[in-house]
């Protein structure tokens, strides 16, 4: 399973996050979960400030590597396994 966050510019310098997950090795399947606004998601779902999350993960600048770190952190913190993620609807992780 490969994961990353794709941020979409929103308003006032915030972003809307999508969690992209690629399942499978041979037959790859992409599933994209809409998470919502970055600051709201980190606050409401992860229970922390976005700046604190980035500091905890050692992120100073948004890069593809940072995207993977945040995605893996979300999956780990929420205890999401591949089997569960395949069953969830794409809006079920949203904070909005």
Q: Evaluate whether residue 93 is within a structural domain.
A: no
**pTM to 2 decimal places:** 0.89
The pLDDT, as a whole number, for residue 96 is: 72
For residue 74, what are the domain limits? 2-87
pLDDT, one tens digit per residue, over 23-34 is 988 878 899 999
Beta bridge partners of 19: 5, 33
| φ, ψ for residue 29, nearest 5 deg | -125, 130
Give 95's contacts (C-beta < 8 A, 6+ positions apart): 35, 36, 37, 40, 41, 44, 45
Structurally, the chain folds into a number of domains equal to 1
Q: What tens-digit pLDDT sequence spans the chain (96 residues)?
A: 899 999 988 888 889 999 999 998 887 889 999 999 999 999 999 999 999 999 999 999 999 999 999 999 999 999 999 999 999 999 999 987
Whether 95 is in a domain gets the answer no
């Amino acid at each position: 399973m490969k994961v990353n966050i794709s941020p979409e510019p929103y308003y006032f310098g915030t972003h809307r996050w999508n969690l992209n997950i690629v399942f499978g090795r041979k037959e790859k399947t992409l599933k994209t979960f809409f998470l919502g606004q970055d600051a709201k998601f980190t606050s409401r779902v992860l229970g922390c400030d976005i700046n604190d999350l980035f500091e905890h993960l050692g992120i100073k600048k948004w890069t593809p590597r940072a995207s993977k770190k945040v995605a893996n952190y979300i999956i780990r913190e929420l205890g999401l396994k591949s089997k569960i993620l395949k069953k969830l609807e794409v809006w079920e992780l949203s904070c909005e």
